Structure 1
Amino acid sequence: MASTQAAQGARGAQVLVASNRGPVSYAVREDGSLHAKRGGGGLVSGLSAIGPDAGALWVCSALGDGDREAVRRGVGEAGVRMLAIPADVHSDAYNGIANSVLWFVHHMLYQTPLEPVFDAEFRRQWVSYETYNRAFAEALAQEAAPGAAVLVQDYHLCLVPGMLRELRPDLRIGHFSHTPWAPVEYFGLLPDDVAAEVLRGMLGADRLGFLTQRWADAFTTCAAEFAGGLGDTRIGVHGLGADADFLRRRAHEADVDERVAALREEIGAAPDGSARKAIVRVDRTELSKNIVRGLLAYRQLLDDHPEWRERVAHVAFAYPSRQDLAVYREYMAEVRRLSEEINSEYGTPGWTPVVLNLKDDFARSLAAYRLADVALVNPIRDGMNLVAKEVPVVSDEGCALVLSREAGAYWELREDAITVNPYDVMETARALHEALSMAPEERAERTKRLAAAATALPPAQWFLEQLSALRA
């Protein structure tokens, strides 16, 4: 589709979204043509909900060679402006700062005897992060109509609100954090000037949104300590929910039905001929997701309760994440090694204890949701964790949820989940046993309540609620 950016800019957009990843990506085919792939998610749903005549524009970054080629050719989607920020600047900002510093701070992932080290290389990458944010701020300032509403997304773009405020003081600016926010002591690991710059950038917004009150309170404390308080910036909490209508419809399409049958066969039957129970997890192989301790807890379950051997399978989908960072490649290798070790130690000719899948396949994930007797969601720290909300919505027979108290979803789902300390492998093993042993009637009732809580604020409503509050 020919780009409509010039026409959009001439009249100015009334609603703008800014995020690192946009709603569309491009790949160059062998014949040189461009193939566009459209994404989904809460922002896509939200922008769709405001209607095609709302004057909306999504500003995002070109992430790969296909995206950059699309920008070079002037190819684009209506309502999308893709920024061709230099690849080295984007890499420094995205991998060097956003994912290797800010993500680690907010998820408290550092091994502090050795890291972080804020040296000359960090400072060089920080300049790229500033440059990357400035490119977004300038594009938004250029595209926005007078008094427009701008919703900036996540830790990649913490500096944008402050930069944009200087360029366009007339705009209504919001920022939403999809991650946790670090407690003040951990946020203080950042160099003082960097911590202050991050907070000043965020506080350029009229309104800041967080997934839970806990993360909002942590930000407020950091702002008081490092930036003198919130000033005129308001704080809101919007707990993103699952899209029940989409999930239930998509989970019963033909390709998912096929994968349900294949996965059921892969899990197999217990020695008495009954269906094996399935403990399901679906995650990116992200350090904060705590996949390794989940596997250790499953092994502990098999040790403590040998009656479950050959009667249960751990369906673990661990999809690749950030494989350009060595620590993530090492983590994925450990997930694979531990899974193979458990299968070697406990497996029998008719039973594979861990059914591990490392290839991203959404239809297969939905199939696993449908078959789940137990959902294991045990992150070290997570802004929300939508898997915890999606499985109860999709599960065919109802599922018990074993949930970390460090997941954002804990605050909405804790009454009907079996909650655990994510570091305590023994407690998690006991929780898995309790979940597997739960009576079908209780499991069904809990699942109903979990699904109701999980869908209280579906994506379109989540977006519109923020937009309304920003405009108020």
Structure 2
Amino acid sequence: MNADRAPLVLVSNRGPVTFGEDGSVKRGGGGLVTALTGLASHRDAVWIASAMTDGDAKRSQEAGGQPFTVESPAGGEYQVRFVESDPDAYDRFYNIFANPMLWFIQHYLWDLSNAPDIRRHEVEAFEYGYNVVNEDLAQAVVDEIDGREEPVVMIHDYHLYTLPGLVRRARPDAFLHHFVHIPWTQPDAWRVLPTRIRDEIYEGLLANDIVGFHTQAYRRNFLQCCRDLVGLEVDFDAGVVRNVGGHDVWVRAYPLPIDATATRRVAQSDRTHHFEQELLRRRRDHLILRVDRADLSKNVLRGFSAFDLFLEQHPDFREKVTFVAQLMPSRTDVPEYAEYLERIEALVAVVNHRHGTPDWMPIQLKLRDDLEEAVAAYKHYDVLLVNAMFDGMNLVAKEGPVVNERDGVSVLSENTGAHEELGEFALSVNPFDIQELAASIHAALTMRPDERARRADGLREIITGRNPGDWIDDQLADIRRKRESQPAAP
């Protein structure tokens, strides 16, 4: 069967929409939802996801646990099937094992001299939380593809590493494709996990036919892990893990593009213009911008420390530059994140007290998630700061240059996925080198206009060269090629 016509199931932790208890519908959050909405609305696909709210659970119950049609507020119509898990199991799955355990491993965030201490609490979170939710979603997938010939199941992200093995055992003929949206770290980072848990994760992932990442670097790391941690034969040049349970696993890189047309549409909206007018009214000579979640991996504190150092070393810029930081609070029920947000606010207060005047506040901190407000700032920055310690892709690095009207300069961490594509036209920085970051801010603000224009044009050309449809097409093409290259399942 042609992969483009095969029955298609998408499965992720978070779905395309969430429901309020009153039945109201909101677009689901996160870059993953953005990436998948185009596929779900243009293919005969069913999107299976966890019920995230009481409203989701109620809507699922009204549909008898079966798929139902929903229109997203952002446009598009989807077939959605919500899966309810036991609340305690889901809490263990999400708040103990997926976050922070896996997230911290895959962003090199653990301070190994102090954490983690893995005890029964964490082991049981994997057994009775992570595995339970994966089993719930896997059962929904198996139900959905029952009676369908050669179905394609596209699994997404770090929440669902054990799900593919469960589906494979039930349906050996299914084609399983797993895309990991966050970094894949090198083998030693994974040695934090108890061997049995680590083996279960790799067994689940290697039940897939194709495993995809944003970058070639993450692809290489995964292949190296399969060799060093699991002892499998790996072909690094071909990107193949050989003879895993009788089949080969293709490992591929599919860099995620943005929908530049949609981003530009937001830039022209009335609400964006309203924020733009307010920003221009308060604007100084120069504007530095960052738009992020308040996540430890985003390296917010070092960004502010570098700005503090920049002002100390270049006092002639005082009262001429403003650093606007729009941060969305993230996972505030995880203690490490709540503490991080407190440290961010405290550092902003210190920098503003040290350098500010009665008429000028160096850092404007906005703790909210507002797309139009962010896009209004995208249009007018002189410097876009993306200094994440490690990042799967970072779509902000792509959205900003598409709508910026001032030939703004991107200061981009070499450890972001976006750097593999955009590094040539950005100012590359080591995210841990605060002096280099401070010097890059100065270089960006003093750069010749012709050099700013050259870099801005280069960024726009790369960013607009592909769209999310191309990203999906590349994956479907590999599904088709691999299916045609392998014998039919017995």
- Residue type of the alignment partner of 1:89: A
Q: Tell me the equivalent position of 1:434.
A: 443
Aligned-partner SS, 1:414: helix
Please say which of residues 449-458 and 317-326 is displaced more in the overlay: 449-458
Q: Equivalent of 2:15, from 16, 22, 47?
A: 22
Q: Tell me the equivalent position of 2:53.
A: 64
CA distance in 2, matches of 1:459, 1:118: 39
CA contact (8 A) 2:394 2:416 kept: yes
* Deviation >6 Å, runs of 4+: none
Give the CA deviation at 1:441: 2.0
CA distance in 1, matches of 2:116, 2:382: 40
- Is 2:357 the counterpart of 1:364? no
Unpaired segments ≥5 residues, structure 2: 71-78, 233-240, 243-247, 482-490
Q: How does 1:136-285 map to 2 (within 5 A)?
A: 136-144=137-145, 145-229=148-232, 230-231=241-242, 232-267=248-283, 269=284, 276-285=285-294
- Is 2:48 the counterpart of 1:47? no
- Residue type of the alignment partner of 1:235: V
CA distance in 2, matches of 1:130, 1:457: 36
Alignment length (residue pairs):
446
CA contact (8 A) 1:46 1:461 kept: no
- Residue type of the alignment partner of 2:190: F
Give the CA deviation at 1:266: 3.2
Give the CA deviation at 1:171: 0.7
CA distance in 1, matches of 2:464, 2:202: 32
Question: What is the Cα-based RMSD across aligned positions, in Å?
Answer: 1.5
CA distance in 1, matches of 2:51, 2:152: 23
CA contact (8 A) 1:392 1:399 kept: yes
- Residue type of the alignment partner of 1:84: E
CA distance in 2, matches of 1:68, 1:142: 18
What TM-score, normalized by structure 1, do the two folds share? Answer: 0.92
- Residue type of the alignment partner of 1:71: S
For residues 67-106 of structure 1, give each alpha carbon's deviation from its aligned partner in whole angstroms, at most 9, with x where no partner exists. Answer: 1222233384351100011111111111111111111001
Aligned-partner SS, 2:201: helix
CA distance in 1, matches of 2:273, 2:358: 27
Give the CA deviation at 1:235: 0.9
- Residue type of the alignment partner of 1:85: S
Q: Tell me the equivalent position of 1:111.
A: 111
What TM-score, normalized by structure 2, do the two folds share? Answer: 0.89
- Is 2:115 the counterpart of 1:99? no
Q: Tell me the equivalent position of 2:90.
A: 90
Give the CA deviation at 1:450: 0.8
Q: Tell me the equivalent position of 1:38.
A: 27
Aligned-partner SS, 1:41: helix
Q: Equivalent of 1:447, from 442, 452, 456?
A: 456
Give the CA deviation at 1:292: 0.5
Please say which of residues 69-78 and 375-384 is displaced more in the overlay: 69-78
Specify which structure has the bigger relative contact order, considering alpha-carbon pairs within 8 angstroms and separated by 6 or more residues. 1
Give the CA deviation at 1:465: 1.6
Aligned-partner SS, 2:159: helix
Give the CA deviation at 1:13: 7.8
- Residue type of the alignment partner of 1:411: E
- Is 2:332 the counterpart of 1:323? yes
Q: Equivalent of 1:399, from 408, 413, 436?
A: 408
For residues 222-242 of structure 1, give each alpha carbon's deviation from its aligned partner in whole angstroms, at most 9, with x where no partner exists. Answer: 111222322310011100012
For residues 283-329 of structure 1, give each alpha carbon's deviation from its aligned partner in whole angstroms, at most 9, with x where no partner exists. Answer: 00000000000000000000000111111100111111001111101
Please say which of residues 423-432 and 67-76 is displaced more in the overlay: 67-76
Q: Equivalent of 2:363, from 348, 354, 371?
A: 354
- Residue type of the alignment partner of 1:68: A
- Residue type of the alignment partner of 1:312: V
CA distance in 2, matches of 1:56, 1:437: 50
Aligned-partner SS, 2:324: strand
- Residue type of the alignment partner of 1:163: L
Aligned-partner SS, 1:317: strand
CA distance in 2, matches of 1:311, 1:281: 18
Q: Tell me the equivalent position of 1:412.
A: 421
Q: Tell me the equivalent position of 1:8.
A: none
Please say which of residues 64-73 and 100-109 is displaced more in the overlay: 64-73
CA contact (8 A) 1:149 1:467 kept: no
CA contact (8 A) 1:239 1:457 kept: no
CA distance in 2, matches of 1:205, 1:85: 24
